[in-house]
Amino acid sequence: MTNDLTTSYERDGYLVLDHALDAGEVGELLEEAVRICRGELGDISGALPAGAADTDDDVLRRFLCVHYPHKLSGVMLDTMRHPAVVSALTTLIGPNVKAMQSMLFIKSEGEPGQAWHQDELFIPTRDRSLTAAWIALDDATVDNGCLWVLPGSHQHGVLYPNREHDDPRYDCTVESYGFPFQDSDAVPVEVKAGSVVVFNGYLLHKSLPNTAGHGYRRALVNHYMSAESLLPWAVPEQGTGMGQADFRDVVLVAGTDPYAYKGLENLRRPRIRPNRDGGCDR
């Protein structure tokens, strides 16, 4: 990664790795997405079973987001460690990097986006090293619901307040508000399949619905941070609602883990994201 890219990342809070994955790698991930959604690679909490007569399209259109696909698929786990992505991460974060989350977005036409938010709200690293790698599996355009960002909104490391909303353009996650930016400051990030949008955990970003006439805007999103920092993340499956001092359901992708002596835990299960009505993804 050049110094120019690093400078632009520090200034804007994001950068694009054009064509970081080749067509073969993207095709393999798309095939794997079908297998995941059919349930061929393991159970997904909240998902409806696929019938033998269901086409691939029938199955895919029932989903909006699958959390933790790397726990089901060796291909997606390998992609979490993709050399092009890891090279960027070690430049931006440091030599020791761990991943804690993956999400497979399958946004077919008519499906909603996400309102303005900061990833740090959901993954409380608090060391300002949280970084997303948003891998486009289709060409992402304004029409089919690409990412929008507010450049520079990460710089002060401020977490803005959040609230529920009833905007039908967005899914059931909360929206950030009260920040000193306007929608007119937003920039669409249109990228080709195989490109990766790398962005800071404090960057305000959103996506709009897929308004294209037909087709998908699929993306695999992985989240990373410095392995030298603790991760005080809640474990809702345990029913406590409390955060752990150091969440250890992680994958080391670069360097060494100073906390390896703690071992690893399997704390999160693959699941779907609820829709706005609290039900399952369609």
- Full DSSP string of 17-46: ETT-S-HHHHHHHHHHHHHHHTTTTS--BT
Q: Which residue has the higher pLDDT, 170 or 274?
A: 170
Q: Per mean pLDDT, which range of 50-64, 65-79, 258-272 is the poorest?
A: 50-64
How buried is 1 (Cβ within 10 angstroms: 0-12 exposed, 13-18 middle, 19+ buried)? middle
Structure token digits, residue 170: 């967005």
Domain count, the chain: 1
Looking at the domain assignment, is residue 21 inside a domain? yes
Looking at the domain assignment, is residue 203 inside a domain? yes
Q: How far is CA 103 from the centre of its chain?
A: 5
How buried is 224 (Cβ within 10 angstroms: 0-12 exposed, 13-18 middle, 19+ buried)? buried
Q: Report the interhelical angle of 3-12 vs 83-92 (nearest 10°).
A: 70
The CATH code of the domain that includes 182 is: 2.60.120.620
Q: What is the pLDDT of residues 6-45, one digit of tens each?
A: 899 999 999 999 999 999 999 999 999 999 999 999 999 9
Tell me the C-alpha to C-alpha distance, in Å, between residue 137 and each of 21, 26, 80: 9, 6, 14
Looking at the domain assignment, is residue 281 inside a domain? no
Looking at the domain assignment, is residue 198 inside a domain? yes
Looking at the domain assignment, is residue 280 inside a domain? no
pLDDT at res. 167: 85
**pTM of whole model > 0.85?**
yes
Please check the confidence at residue 53 and state whether its pLDDT lies above 90. Answer: no
DSSP 8-state secondary structure symbol assigned to residue 227: T
Looking at the domain assignment, is residue 150 inside a domain? yes
Looking at the domain assignment, is residue 52 inside a domain? yes
pLDDT at res. 109: 94
pLDDT at res. 104: 98
* Residue owning tokens 């800071």: 200
Looking at the domain assignment, is residue 45 inside a domain? yes
124 is in which domain, residue-wise?
3-272
